């Protein structure tokens, strides 16, 4: 039985991971900013914990509570995250800062808080949940993909640093998973000069016609924690590896041209040919902004 600390456990992948590990008999500390609002985990044998990954003090306090209660942490799952859509020109810098604060620095805070005890025990497992967007950058997702690219790079460096201390590190890279993060996107497109936001939203909607539940990712994370593999990257979900192969089949310049194509009709037709996704039913007419 492992003592596991999970961030961002109120919904989606974090909730599913907490449930999968608790049902498997692990000692789960499911953390979130507002545990009082959590209802879905109350019937499971988990300990709810208040933790805001944006706060140094909150992270120190939460990790300290687990160490005081159990004496050690066997596994950390960094899942807390936020996502915003918007072109680089049109998205306020504060959104970039907020995204990096939660998705990148938030993970670093928890890692730095748990590492000393793991290193002293020469045992531990750190799982960072990124995304296929941690390896594929698409227009209108710059703030999100930048944070995930950064976390991928830091995690790869971390794996080199801590392996001599017998600490395993893994990156879980989900594809399009049916979570609340998509429900938080506004229904109507804001005015924009750029077509990529409408295209990526349509791609998401087409993918979600056959929704993949977050339990798929939760089960994968449970397998990593219970196993002994030193594998670094785990694409998860039926479309994760195909998305990565789709990107790898193009040069950088081809991929840029693919998404930069000014002809929407041609773009949607090409997406269906190349990836088998008919996103045209979800196409939204965008109003064109006059600039910032």
Q: How far apart are CA 188 and CA 137, in angstroms?
A: 23
- Give the C-alpha distances (Å, rounded to integers) separating 90 from 139, 140, 290: 12, 9, 11
Residues 6+ apart with CB under 8 A from 44: 18, 19, 22, 23, 28
Q: Is 234 a catalytic residue?
A: no
> 173-201 burial string, b = 16+ CB within 10 Å, else e?
bbbbbbbebbeeeeeeeeebebbbbbbbb
Q: How far apart are CA 203 and CA 183, in angstroms?
A: 15
Catalytic pick among 144, 194, 234, 268: 144
For the beta sheet containing 167-174, the strands, ordered from the edge strand earlier in sequence to the opposite edge, are 46-50, 27-32, 3-6, 75-78, 124-129, 167-174, 233-236
Beta pairing class for 3-6 and 233-236: unpaired
Active site residues: 144
């Amino acid at each position: 039985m492992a003592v596991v600390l999970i961030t961002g456990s109120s919904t989606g992948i974090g909730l599913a991971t907490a449930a999968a590990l608790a049902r498997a008999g692990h000692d789960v500390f499911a953390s979130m900013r507002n545990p009082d609002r959590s209802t879905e985990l109350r019937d499971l044998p988990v300990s709810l914990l208040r933790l805001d990954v944006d706060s140094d003090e909150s992270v120190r306090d939460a990790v300290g509570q687990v160490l005081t209660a159990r004496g050690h942490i066997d596994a950390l799952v960094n899942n807390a995250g936020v996502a915003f859509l918007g072109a680089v020109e049109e998205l306020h810098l504060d959104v970039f800062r907020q995204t990096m604060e939660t998705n990148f620095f938030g993970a670093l805070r928890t890692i730095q808080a748990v590492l000393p005890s793991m290193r002293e025990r020469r045992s531990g497992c750190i799982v960072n949940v990124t995304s296929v967007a941690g390896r594929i950058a698409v227009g209108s997702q710059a703030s999100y993909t930048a944070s995930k690219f950064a976390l991928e790079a830091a995690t790869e460096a971390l794996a080199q640093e801590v392996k001599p201390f017998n600490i395993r590190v893994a990156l879980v890279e989900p594809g399009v998973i049916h979570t609340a993060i998509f429900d938080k996107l506004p229904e109507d497109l804001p005015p924009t000069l750029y077509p990529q936001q409408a295209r990526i939203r349509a791609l998401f909607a087409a993918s979600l016609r056959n929704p993949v539940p977050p339990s798929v990712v939760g089960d994968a994370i449970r397998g990593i924690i219970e196993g002994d593999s030193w594998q670094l990257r785990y694409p998860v979900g039926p479309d994760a590896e195909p998305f990565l192969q789709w990107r790898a089949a193009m040069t950088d310049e081809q991929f840029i041209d693919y998404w930069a194509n000014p002809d929407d009709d041609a773009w949607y037709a090409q997406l269906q040919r190349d990836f088998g996704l008919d996103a045209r039913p979800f196409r939204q007419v965008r109003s064109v902004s006059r600039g910032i």
